[in-house]
Structure 1
Amino acid sequence: MLSRCFKNRFRFFALSCAVSMGFSFAVAADLPPGTAYVELQPAFTLNYGQTTKVRYLQAAVTLRVRDELAAVVVAVHLDAIRHEIIMLFARQSEETVRSSAGREEILEQALEAVQALMIKETGEILVDRVLFTSWVVQS
């Protein structure tokens, strides 16, 4: 009973801290119990490709996590997560970025990179899906 009480108090404290620090995450009512989303804000705007021509990509990314506590833990590591995703986007070719199949491949690579980072930092896989909520390409 004491450990359950402590766990609930910790969750309340962690969620309160995350909200007060401005982290954005939402619990979805129509999804499995505990599922939450963490938006990576601001959206990513960067150059991509290895050519001399400047190409821009703007992508809004959201992470689906297993519960509210996982959202708080992931929020602590947002800088490292953003770094991994920026490096992934920057090394993509124009063909990959412009095609639907390429975007799916990037989603898979992003999920693998974020999960590897979470395992390294926390010992757990906290993120179960990466979503692009916006994807704009300019060549």
Structure 2
Amino acid sequence: MADDVENTGSKKKLFILIALAVTLLIGAGVAAWFLMGDDTPESGMAATSANQQVSAVVEPAYYVIMPQPFIFNVVGDKRDRVVQVKVQLMVRGNNNEALAQQHIPLIESTLLQSFGAATVEQLRTPNGRIDLRKQALFAIQSSMEKISGQQVVDRVLFTGFVMQ
């Protein structure tokens, strides 16, 4: 009978030790998974697929050169000035490049209207020229959207700017 009590006690100890070992192994596995298993492969895959989706949407940039520089008068506080601006348009994709080439007279007219509204004080400062480019871009996008249903032009670039 004493042997049965000792046997039962050692079986309980063995059972407790096995349960404790299994718990420790599971805990160590979970801890290793949290510490070693960072999300870089998954987020890398997600970033790669997101980049592929963006690159599928974003087409290559093309530049449409306006055939002639724009020469116009600007009213100043002391005297009038003559301004010459060389312009290029950045478009995305072959389709938008073809549309911009097709509608160059409309784009030139729109740019002349935008430039005609400028003042000498505005054109003297870099921020003023940036504002003028933004106004010109908005005007071109609006007029092209009326004609083709698309904005077509992404940026208006001044590649030459002279004010006398």
TM norm structure 2: 0.61
- Bigger radius of gyration, 1 or 2? 2
Deviation readout 1:81-122 (Å, 9 max, x if unpaired): 101111111121111011101000001001100100110010
1:89 equivalenced with 2:120 (yes/no)? no
Aligned residue number for residue 104 of structure 1: 130
RCO higher in 1 or 2 (8 Å CA, sep ≥ 6)?
A: 1
1:38 aligns with 2:64: yes
Listed as ranges, the gaps of 5+ residues in structure 2 are 1-57
Other structure's SS at 2:100 match: helix
Inter-partner Cα distance in structure 2 for 1:50 and 1:119: 33
Query: More strand by proportion, 1 or 2?
Result: 1
Q: Give the aligned residue type for 1:125.
A: Q
> Any gaps of 5 or more consecutive residues in structure 1?
1-31
Structure 1 residue 129: Cα displacement: 0.6
2 CA distance for matches of 1:53 and 1:95?
12
Q: Find the counterpart in structure 1 of residue 150 from structure 2.
A: 124
TM-score between both structures, scaled by the size of structure 1: 0.72
Which deviations, in whole Å up to 9, do the C-alpha atoms of 1:9-40 show, x marking residues without a partner? xxxxxxxxxxxxxxxxxxxxxxx752111011
Tell me how many residue pairs correspond in the alignment: 107
Q: Look up the match of 1:63.
A: 89
SS in structure 2 opposite 1:41? Answer: coil
Identical-pair percentage: 32
Q: CA deviation at 1:52?
A: 8.2
